């Protein structure tokens, strides 16, 4: 993670609370899903990227594997072909990596993910809140199922709205007598 000075007081308490939310099982599910999606890709680069996730475990490893945004851009391009035109390579500078992550987040939101379910670029780039990053990947996996992605699924199916219409007579008959 980033070399940040140790926090004290409220800052340290907040950091501990964020770290406590990290779940290794959710991480494994998210990484397995990313690997499976990359393996459905058409290029050998995507299949090679899938191999780089083997043995990744823990927030530090996940941050190291995803912080350049290359894997995330490729996953998004598989889910929604050619939605992100330019992917800066892993050898690019930190600002280009942030651009990759920002492009991924923008396209994930356009894909249908709620902004509140995603994460901020700095959470991944600096490793500040890796639980939110894993949660954002889960949100994308749920939305992929809803959008008809035929590849691997992640998590439970997202709920759909089920509006109901009742006539005035039905509404009145449902009332408790005397109220």
pLDDT of residue 5: 62
Grouping H, G, I as helix, E, B as strand and the rest as coil, residue 112 is: coil
Other CB atoms closer than 10 Å to residue 88's CB: what's the count? 18
When pLDDT is cut at 50, 70 and 90, the band that residue 6 belongs to is low
Kindly report, residue by residue over 50-76, the tens digit of the pLDDT. Answer: 888 888 788 889 888 899 999 999 999
Domain ranges of the chain: 10-173
Helical packing angle, 44-51 and 70-79, nearest 10°? 130
**Percent with pLDDT over 70 in the chain:** 89
DSSP 130-143: HHHHHHHHHHHHHH
pLDDT of residue 11: 66
Yes or no: domain 10-173 corresponds to CATH 1.10.418.10: yes
When pLDDT is cut at 50, 70 and 90, the band that residue 95 belongs to is very high
Mean pLDDT of 99-123: 92
Q: Compute the distance between CA of residue 122 and CA of residue 43 in angstroms, rounded to an integer.
A: 29
């Amino acid at each position: 993670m980033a070399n940040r000075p140790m926090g004290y007081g409220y800052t340290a308490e907040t950091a501990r609370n964020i770290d406590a939310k990290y779940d290794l099982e959710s991480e494994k599910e998210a990484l397995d899903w990313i690997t499976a999606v990359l393996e459905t890709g058409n290029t050998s680069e995507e299949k090679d990227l899938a191999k780089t996730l083997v043995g990744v475990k823990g927030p530090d490893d996940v941050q190291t594997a995803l912080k350049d945004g290359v894997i995330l851009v490729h996953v998004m391009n598989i889910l929604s072909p050619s939605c992100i035109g330019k992917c800066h390579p892993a050898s690019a500078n930190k600002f280009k990596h942030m651009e990759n992550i920002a492009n991924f987040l923008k396209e994930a939101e356009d894909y249908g993910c709620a902004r509140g379910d995603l994460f901020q670029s700095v959470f991944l780039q600096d490793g500040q809140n890796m639980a939110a990053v894993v949660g954002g990947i889960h949100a994308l996996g749920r939305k992929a199922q809803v959008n008809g992605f035929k590849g691997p699924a992640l998590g439970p199916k997202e709920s759909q709205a089920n509006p109901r219409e009742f006539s005035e007579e039905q509404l009145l008959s449902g009332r408790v007598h005397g109220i």
